[in-house]
Structure 1
Amino acid sequence: MLRGLVGGFAVLACAALASGGQFNRILDIGDPAPEWSALPGTDGKTHDAKSLAGAPVVVVVFTCNSCPYAVDAEERIVQLHADYAAKNVAVVAINVNLVEEDRLPAMKEKVEANGWKFPYLFDESQQIAKEFGAKYTPEVYVLDRERKVAYMGSMDDSPDGKNVTKTYVRDAIDAVLEGRDVATAETVPVGCRIRMSRRR
């Protein structure tokens, strides 16, 4: 009997330690967000999360060059950055795909062609995506002032950006800025699977 109780507590403890969100196996709402460091950007500099300490909200977008869903989201990301720049909201795009069209040289070409004003970073190790539990491009995380996850999932309810009726990311940003709870804190990310390398 005692052995059974001990075993049951062990299972519960492991489950508690391994708990994630509804659609994310690694992070849950309210968890501290992983920090990135020394990630190269398309601006020729290296970037880390600590440099954004003054931002009341940080929006992390896992994206890439090659995914049609990610391409469809680009204009909305650019507009998001423009609309919230005056409120010091930081937008950071991160790419971890290792195919040639998604590597840093191609990323630089995209930024130069489209005039992106926010950091677009490359993580060849793919570690930051693993730590966030990101599986798709695009996949968005809204972090509050304490850098806890306030929202994660899709940008809105329209993968191609047409006929948007629910602006999940914008609603989350507004809620955090105003000190309110985020009404919809997690949604299913819709996009292309991140191309994680297989290590033997």
Structure 2
Amino acid sequence: MKTLKILTVVAVIALVGILASGVLNVDSLNMENNEIESAINDSQNTDKAPIRKGYDIGDTATDFSLKNIDGRMVSLKNYEEAKGFIVIFTCNHCPYSVAYEDRIIALDKEFKSQGYPVIAINPNNPEAYPEDSYDNMKIRAKEKGFTFPYLFDAGQTIYPQYGATKTPHVFLLQKVDKNNIVKYIGAIDDNHKDATAIKNDYLRDAVTNLINGEEIKMTKTVAIGCSIKS
């Protein structure tokens, strides 16, 4: 009986040691990936996010006048020859936005000449995230070689009108007469981690459908990214 008690104590001590080691390893991993984990939590905790009204498919998007990184004010009406717009709410700090930067540049290069330029808007409050300040927007755009306007939503007045909740969050607009009609809302594609593993290229397919005069098969998807910081 005494031997059995000793063996039991030894087993318990060993088990505690294994568990402690595992906890330490998990804690270390979490610290290294804190920013990614924060973004993932933002995406999963949608029930806790404030409900914002915004545009739906078929709605008319109002124009805006926002400051670009070159200091000029930009409005949709400035693009007289455009057939529509790829409006993307994005920012500097969010890992999801960073992951999509090259793809957003590629989309602009592909579709701008066909009448659908990218218009990027940073909706975040720089007091909450200094990395998303106007000055840092200019730095980031130069580093990445942005080919599109990168506008600052000063006062955070535009993103609530659209109903954007994440970065990145896409609103595809088509010009109909003098109105900008919302045709697609949601994600850029279905794989932010690996551009070579995309199975559903939502935005590219939607723009291609519009250019070809075809019906968009999937008009709304769930935007996955970091919550917009107020």
Aligned pair count? 173
Deviation at 1:178, TM superposition (A): 1.4
Q: Is the 8 A contact 1:35 1:48 kept in 2?
A: yes
2:207 alignment counterpart: 173
**Distance in 1 between residues matched to 2:147 and 2:56, nearest whole Å:** 30
SS of the counterpart of 1:159?
coil
Instruction: Give the TM-score normalised by structure 1.
Output: 0.82
Q: Is the 8 A contact 2:173 2:181 kept in 1?
A: yes
Structure 1 unaligned runs (5+)? 1-22
**Distance in 1 between residues matched to 2:160 and 2:171, nearest whole Å:** 14
Deviation at 1:24, TM superposition (A): 7.6
Deviation at 1:53, TM superposition (A): 3.1
Deviation at 1:25, TM superposition (A): 4.0
2:191 alignment counterpart: 158
Identity %: 36
Matched, 1:53 2:80: yes
Matched, 1:28 2:61: no
1:125 alignment counterpart: 155
1:189 alignment counterpart: 223
Task: State the AA in 2 paired with 1:29.
Answer: I
Task: State the AA in 2 paired with 1:191.
Answer: G
1:141 alignment counterpart: 171
Q: Quickly say closer, same or farther: Cα 1:24–1:149, change in 2 above 3 A.
A: farther
SS of the counterpart of 1:125?
coil
SS of the counterpart of 1:148?
strand
Matched, 1:93 2:125: no
Query: Which has more helix, going by share of residues?
Result: 2
1:12 alignment counterpart: none
Deviation at 1:172, TM superposition (A): 0.7
Q: Quickly say closer, same or farther: Cα 1:24–1:73, change in 2 above 3 A.
A: farther
Instruction: Give the TM-score normalised by structure 2.
Output: 0.72
Q: Is the 8 A contact 2:54 2:163 kept in 1?
A: yes
**Distance in 2 between residues matched to 1:138 and 1:152, nearest whole Å:** 11
Task: State the AA in 1 paired with 2:192.
Answer: P
* Bigger-Rg structure (1/2): 2
